[in-house]
A and B are shown apart, each in its own frame.
Chain A
Amino acid sequence: MSDSSTQDDSPKKTPSDVTGDSLDELRRLILNREQRELESLREDVEHLTKRPHALTPDEVSDVLPDAIVRRTGQDRQLARALSSTVEEAIQTSVKKDPQPLVDAIFPVIGPAIRKAISNALSSTIQSLNTTLEHSLSLQGLKWRMEAMRTGRPFAEIVLSHTMLYQVDQVFLIHKETGLLLQDVESGNTTVQDADMVSGMLTAIQDFVHDSFTVKKGEQLDTMQVGDLTVWIERGPHAIIAAVVRGAPNQELRVVLQDAVETVHLEMEVAFQDFSGDSGPFAAIRPHLVSCLQIQLAEDEETKAKSPAFWIILCACVISLSIWGFVSTRDAWRWSAYLDLLEDEPGIVVTKTGTRDGLFYVKGLRDPLAPDPATLLSGTGLLLTDVSGEWEPYLAFRPEFIVQRAARLVSLPETAKLTYEDGTLHLSGTAPMIWLKDARERVRYMQGVAGLVEADDFLTEEMGRMLDMQALVENLTIIFPVGSSRLNPGDYRQIETVTNTVRALNSAAAAVAISTQIEIIGHSDSTGSAAMNTLISTRRAMRVRDALVDAGFPASEFIARGVSATVPVDDGSQDRIQEASRRVSFHVLVSDRASDEETRQ
């Protein structure tokens, strides 16, 4: 390919050779640059024909960084390829001299170890604390028994009972301003006004930091109120505060730390630009949601139950059933008692229930109704089981109106009251003066229109009058055969008549009645009719005269003979005949007022 080399190899010089030399010279002068380029190309070609795929180190150094970046983006091939070499290199380096590597990782390894140790320690201390806290309590004793029964360590039992917690709410709070950036909740919200709480949490931290001498970097990271714990994890720009119910464990700390770190990683720019607008931070809500963790205590069902458990359970069941029986029985008795009360006239139940462990009844009671306490007997309830509250009231049932009226008017035993259609009805007998007073009194009674006398009612005075009338009409005076003369002994009879008529008169006067007495003469049926009429009339007149002699006005009597027209019928013929020779009396009654009218 190269002409010059073939020409340089010619054995002798000729004039044409001279010409040849100068031509070379000329060629060199004119084509110097091209010639050199050709030379270099020739070398390249030779190089390529010898090792067709090789690159120069220069070329590799040019493309290497780019190539690594590209390849790493595509797959993990490069990392795989390098790993053994890198491992070997590190091993060789450490073998040769460990110091450079120790120096290099020192800033990383210190905090990493510290963090790991502190996490491990704090969970140990936490469980130790809970263990100690519970070892002396009643709860602790129970757990100790459980540990003995199941053969598990006491600390493990304590932990299984205490590791129950739930994160209720998580806040992301801007560190500098205390403003709320985001918050998420589990549904059982503990805190209402998240943005104010956010401010307060910041203020509290400032307060603690300012008020107590704390080392740089130390901060308040736990707050506890009753069952609630607030855990705080902080980053350079924001803090995460988690409101936790129950006893959180260290795993939650790690979750919170992760969340704070991720938020800072993703929101670096938003934090730089923050001026009160929390909108951009909505993007990190999922990280906060991931902090809403629940940790449940071990399932109670799966544990083996001790004999003591079963004994206690049986005792519970038995006492429950006794209690159930007693309370059902009492409830049944109570409702029976209430039924009794409801049925009782003059008692109105307005409220029932239980109060202070007693049955309780409230209502209205007429003073005439029986004492509700007396109704308890027979129900099985005791006076001490029941508390009653009774307001007095007036019942308008007929029996109560009658009872009240009887009390009001001092009803005599001989009389009786009934109530019908708003009116009191009086039967039996009673003195007239009482009746007058009673009429007056019932006028003021509620629900009573008046007092009326029933058909069978008699005043005492009228009763006496009627008695006297009957007495008079029962009297007879017997005469001898064929005579109208009174024997001396008959004057005794006349005296009886006189007294009786006098009593009749006064009884009649008391009831404003005037009386007239018919004196009726009778004869027996023997003898002539004319004679009998005469003798019977005479007998009547004889008695009338005797009465007038005794001081009665003659006008009070009417004397007449009826011969044998009104026979007596009681016994033997002889006795009849004797009884027929008699004088009998009949009382004529008239109202005194109408009597006077007729006289006028």
Chain B
Amino acid sequence: MIQKKICMLGAFAVGKTSLVGRFVRSIFSDKYQTTVGVKIDKKIVSVGDEQVNMMLWDLHGEDEFQKVRMSYLRGASGYLLVADGTRKDTLDIALSLHETIQESVGTIPCILVVNKSDLSDDWEIEKSELDDLATNHWEIIYSSAKSGEGVEEAFQSLARQVV
């Protein structure tokens, strides 16, 4: 079976861990999360008639967007860039993270996930801004780790791109 390393990136509290939790049910390396600052989960998905074992690296830490450890990105086949639809600054952080990664790791498949779509009342990120990105070949998926909307779709879509 093919294995792929996938990273979860984004500002703190945007819902990276929640998205992974929603996507997989495994709770293995919980105890490492505070000491090491990364939690690894896995889920096997089907792409066509191929099975892909997605190793999901979820980076922890309060200010992870500031000093994301580039070493964790080494060997990644793709990443989910997560923003919180109710906090406009999280999109800016996501985009600047993207730039940093491109500089250090190069261009690898990536999807922009705008999370917390269930909180439409507190929505801050303008649709027009996302539309602009979409026209610039960004793949954008609205998701909610709470309701489950778009979660499967986001991971599946990335899986298709990395195989």
Contacts and interface: CB of A to CB of B under 8 A. Distances in A.
A238 to B, nearest CB: 12
Contacts of B72: 203, 206
A179 B29 CA distance: 15
B112 interface: no
Interface string B58-92: 00000000000101101111000000000000000
Interface in A188-227: 192-193, 195-196, 199-200, 203-204, 206-207, 209-210
A450 B5 CA distance: 88
B148 interface: no
Interface residues of B, number: 26
B42 A203 contact: no
B31 to A, nearest CB: 10
What's the interface size class on A, roughly? Answer: 20 to 34
Which one of B40, B41, B74 has the highest number of Cβ atoms from chain A below 10 Å of its Cβ? B40
Given A176-B74, A179-B5, A200 B40 contact: yes
Nearest to A180: B3
A174 interface: yes
B25 to A, nearest CB: 13
A427 B5 CA distance: 97
A196 B42 contact: yes
A126 interface: no
B138 interface: no
Contacts, number: 74
Contact of A195 (B42, B74, B76): B42
A183 to B, nearest CB: 13
Given A193-B26, A210-B71, A203 B38 contact: yes
A278 B51 CA distance: 13
Contacts of B157: none
A196 B28 CA distance: 8
Given A176-B74, A180-B3, A276-B4, A200 B69 contact: no
A178 B55 contact: yes
Given A196-B29, A196-B55, A203 B74 contact: no
Contact of B40 (A196, A207, A210): A196
Interface string A582-595: 00000000000000
A180 B53 CA distance: 11
Given A179-B55, A199-B5, A276-B4, A209 B75 contact: no
Nearest to B71: A206
A110 to B, nearest CB: 30
A423 interface: no
Contacts of B4: 179, 276
Given A200-B36, A200-B40, A276 B3 contact: yes
B37 interface: yes
Contacts of B55: 177-179, 195-196, 199
B1 to A, nearest CB: 8
A195 B44 CA distance: 12
Contact of A210 (B1, B57, B69): B69
22 contacts: A177-B3, A177-B55, A178-B55, A179-B3, A193-B28, A195-B3, A195-B53, A196-B26, A196-B41, A199-B5, A199-B40, A199-B55, A200-B32, A203-B38, A203-B72, A207-B69, A209-B71, A210-B69, A276-B4, A276-B77, A277-B1, A278-B3
Interface of A: 174, 176-180, 192-193, 195-196, 199-200, 203-204, 206-207, 209-210, 275-278
Interface of B: 1-5, 26, 28-29, 32, 36-38, 40-42, 52-53, 55, 57, 69, 71-72, 74-77
